[in-house]
Structure 1
Amino acid sequence: MEAIALIRRHRGLMAHIARELGITRGAVASWRKIPALRVLEIERITNGAISRYQLRPDLYPERSDASRPKATTPAASCEVG
């Protein structure tokens, strides 16, 4: 689903984002793509409910498990229990 569709799907979210960004609701509604400079702000405003990966996958492709950093210290890899 496109990012702007995710925003429109949640009642009141577009107005909340606009208010937090200091722009009009109409400005948000006119976006075809989320502006790159707004992606991290919107992720913060939504408390991560809509992630940067959803907002702009062209800029923030999700990393696969294979490319995620591995624990490098023995303490970080110990199991507790």
Structure 2
Amino acid sequence: MIEIVELAAEKAGGAVALSRELGIKHSSLHSWRRVPAARVLDFERITGISRHVIRPDVFGPHEDGGQ
């Protein structure tokens, strides 16, 4: 599992809870090489991790460099 997903799972109460909130199977999280762009906004809403941290390639770098 990629680092950002591991961090998000911690914030969401575990990988199962995160996958449930995203409406996907738990095993799908393990196959991600990066968070799919279509899932970023839900991912951000659930975890509080900025979209700029999750996918800087899509949303650009976070202005203050943090979360």
Q: Do they superpose with TM above 0.5?
A: yes
Identity %: 45
The number of residue pairs the alignment matches comes to: 62
| Greater share of helix | 2
CA distance in 2, matches of 1:53, 1:35: 13
Bigger drift between 16-25 and 56-65 goes to: 56-65
**2 CA distance for matches of 1:61 and 1:27?**
25
Q: Distance in 2 between matches of 1:63 and 1:34?
A: 17
Structure 1 unaligned runs (5+)? 66-81
Distance in structure 2 (CA, Å) of the matches to 1:6 and 1:63: 17
Q: How does 1:2-81 map to 2 (within 5 A)?
A: 2-7=3-8, 10=10, 12-46=13-47, 48=48, 50-62=49-61, 64=63
TM-score for the superposition, normalised by structure 2: 0.71
RMSD of aligned residue pairs (Cα, Å) = 2.4
Structure 1 or 2, whichever has the larger Rg, is 1
